[in-house]
Amino acid sequence: MSYTAETTRYETMPYRRCGHSGLKLPAISLGLWQNFGEPNALSTQKAILHRAFDQGVTHFDLANNYGPPFGSAETNFGRIFSEDFSAYRDELIISTKAGWDMWPGPYGGMNGSKKHLVASLDQSLKRMGLEYVDIFYSHRPDPFTPLEETMSALAQIVRQGKALYVGISNYGPELSEKAAQLLRAEGIALTISQPNYSLLDRWVEPELLAVNEKHGTGTIVFSPLQQGFLSDKYLKDIPADSRASRLDWVRSGLTDVALERIKALNQLAQQRGQSLAQMALSWTLRDSRISSTLIGTRTVDQLNDSLGALKNSTFSTDELAAIDKITGTDPEIFVAPAKATGQDLIDDPQYRA
Q: What secondary structure does DSSP assign to 160-184, as a single string?
A: TTSEEEEEEES--HHHHHHHHHHHH
110 inside domain: yes
10 inside domain: no
Tell me how many degrees the CA angle 238-244-245 measures, rounded to the nearest 5: 70
Residue 292 per-residue DSSP state: E
68 inside domain: yes
69 inside domain: yes
Looking at residue 231, which CATH number applies to its domain? 3.20.20.100
Q: Is residue 344 predicted with pLDDT exceeding 90?
A: no
Residue 273 per-residue DSSP state: T
Our count of domains for the chain comes to 1
74 inside domain: yes
| Model pLDDT for residues 7-38, shown as the tens digit of each residue | 999 999 999 999 999 999 999 999 999 899 99
Number of Cβ atoms within 10 Å of the Cβ of 169: 21
Mean pLDDT of 209-237: 92
Whole-angstrom Cα distance, residue 48 to residue 64?
Answer: 20
Whole-angstrom Cα distance, residue 306 to residue 293?
Answer: 11
Domain residue limits at 59:
15-352
178 inside domain: yes
Which residues in 250-281 are b (16+ Cβ under 10 Å) and which e? beebeeeeeeebbeebbebbeeeebbbbbbbb
Tell me how many degrees the CA angle 191-193-199 measures, rounded to the nearest 5: 145
Q: Is residue 351 predicted with pLDDT exceeding 50?
A: no
Q: What are phi and psi of 34, to 5 degrees?
A: -110, -5
Mean pLDDT of 209-227: 97
5 inside domain: no
Number of Cβ atoms within 10 Å of the Cβ of 283: 25
pTM over 0.85: yes
| Model pLDDT for residues 24-82, shown as the tens digit of each residue | 999 999 999 989 999 899 999 999 999 999 999 999 999 999 999 999 999 999 999 99
**For residue 242, what pLDDT band results from cuts at 50, 70 and 90?**
low
9 inside domain: no
